[in-house]
Chain A
Amino acid sequence: MDKRWLNFELHKRKILTLILLLAFMLSLFFVEWHSNLIHSGGFITAKQIAAAFFTPDLSGDILLLALESSWTTLSYAAAGMSLVIIIAFFFGIFASGILVSEGKIKRYIRPLFRGQLGIMRAIHELVWAWLFVASIGLSSFAAIFALAIPYGGILGRIFADMLEDIPREPIKALEAAGASKIQALWYGYLPMVRASITSYAMYRFECAIRSSAIMSFVGIGGLGYQIQLSLDDLHYDEVWTFVFFLIALVLIIDLWSNQLRKRLVQ
Chain B
Amino acid sequence: MQEAISITQISKSYERKIALSSLSFTVNKGELVALIGPSGAGKTTLLNLLAAILPPSQGHILIDRQPLSELMDHKKRAKKIGIIRQQFDLVGELPVIHNVLAGRLSEWGIFKSILSMLVPQDKEYAVQALIRVGLTDKLYEKTSSLSGGEQQRVALARLLVQSPEIVLADEPVASLDPARAEDVLELLVKIALEENQTLIASLHSVEYARKYFDRLIALKDGEIFFDLPASSVTDDHINSLYRLKELS
Contacts and interface: CB of A to CB of B under 8 A. Distances in A.
A in complex with B: yes
Interface residues of A, number: 22
A115 interface: no
B82 interface: yes
Interface in B37-94: 51, 53, 74-75, 77-79, 81-83, 85, 88-94
A179 B102 contact: yes
A186 B110 CA distance: 9
B74 A178 contact: yes
Nearest to B95: A191
A177 B93 contact: no
Nearest to A194: B93
B90 to A, nearest CB: 6
A177 B106 contact: yes
Contacts of B53: 172, 176
B78 A188 contact: no
A48 interface: no
A191 B90 contact: no
B89 A173 contact: yes
Contacts of B117: 186-187
B88 A183 contact: no
Interface string B127-154: 0000000000000001000000000000
A195 B155 CA distance: 23
Contacts, number: 77
A266 interface: yes
Interface in A113-134: none
Nearest to A191: B93
Contacts of B114: 186
Interface string A155-184: 000000000000101101111111110110
A23 B94 CA distance: 51
Given A167-B88, A174-B105, A187 B93 contact: no
Contact of B91 (A178, A182, A192): A192
A266 B74 CA distance: 35
A173 B99 CA distance: 11
B162 interface: yes
B202 interface: no
Contact of B75 (A169, A172, A174, A178): A178
A172 B51 CA distance: 11
B79 A178 contact: yes
A170 B88 contact: yes
B136 to A, nearest CB: 22
B85 A177 contact: no
A182 B112 CA distance: 12
A179 B89 contact: no
B172 to A, nearest CB: 12
B103 interface: yes
Interface of A: 167, 169-170, 172-180, 182-183, 186-188, 191-192, 194-195, 266
11 contacts: A167-B88, A170-B90, A173-B83, A176-B53, A177-B162, A187-B91, A191-B93, A191-B94, A192-B92, A192-B93, A266-B142
